[in-house]
């Protein structure tokens, strides 16, 4: 999966810079993530990505959602998979929900940042607008490490003209009753948490859909 993560909604300045598709063409939202997006331990169709698809349909927004998330994936894994995904699905929007497993495995933060930069650039190169979802790790990782890890997502978004969800699990992992929002492993959000996760992503993604 990924480490504790969450969200407020904030679009980075350059998020609208990528060229759009031809007028009238439905959007394609590609989500490249780990278990937080892959419905790990959840009933099928109850994760935030499935809820996003239903919300788009309910609001009459012409958009296809492709969930290319893999439980346990790292930014390196996502980077390796991305070119084929971009070619196959030709997305107008890419949501990058990766990084938590990098921290859990103690991978260098420089590698995580470089992979996110590469994925953002590759997505923008095919005309997609990018949303990066920020992650956080628990305090036991050490204050300096936790601060540096949390900061890298915003730094990449600002430098690369992507939109930013500051913390994907805002209101889930950072609340007094956080245990009530997680599965028994205390790592993966439960079914109750996923509507809240979608509410963290929605204010960032929705304006980019036109």
Residues with catalytic roles: 35, 185, 188
Tokens representing 137? 């790790």
> How far lies 168's CA from each of 87, 94, 125, 165, 194, in Å?
27, 15, 25, 6, 10
Task: Give the pairing type, strands 163-165 and 27-33.
Answer: unpaired
> How far lies 32's CA from each of 2, 23, 65, 160, 174, in Å?
13, 25, 11, 17, 24
Give me the residues paired with residue 189 across strands: 182
Which SS3 state, helix, strand or coil, does residue 162 take? Answer: coil
Report the distance separating Cα 173 and Cα 137, nearest Å.
10
- Name the DSSP class of 19: P
Q: Which helix (H) or strand (E) covers residue 195, if one does?
A: helix 194-205
């Amino acid at each position: 999966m990924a480490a504790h993560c969450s969200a407020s909604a904030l679009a980075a300045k350059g998020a609208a810079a990528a060229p759009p598709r031809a007028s009238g063409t439905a959007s394609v939202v590609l989500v490249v993530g780990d278990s937080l997006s892959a419905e790990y331990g959840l009933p099928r169709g109850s994760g935030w990505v499935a809820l996003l698809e239903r919300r788009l349909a309910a609001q009459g927004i012409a958009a296809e959602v492709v969930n290319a998330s893999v439980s346990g994936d790292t930014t390196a894994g996502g980077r390796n998979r991305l070119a084929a995904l971009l070619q196959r699905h030709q997305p107008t929007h890419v949501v990058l929900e990766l990084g938590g497993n990098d921290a859990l495995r103690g991978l260098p933060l420089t590698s995580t940042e470089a992979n996110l930069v590469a994925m953002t650039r590759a997505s923008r190169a095919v005309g997609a607008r990018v949303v990066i979802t920020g992650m956080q790790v628990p305090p036991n990782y050490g204050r300096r490490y936790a601060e540096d890890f949390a900061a890298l997502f915003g730094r990449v978004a600002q430098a690369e003209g992507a939109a930013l969800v500051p913390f994907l699990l805002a209101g889930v992992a950072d609340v007094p009753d956080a245990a009530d929002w997680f599965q028994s492993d205390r790592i993966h959000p439960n079914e109750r948490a996923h509507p809240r996760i979608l509410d963290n992503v929605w204010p960032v993604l929705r304006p980019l859909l036109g």
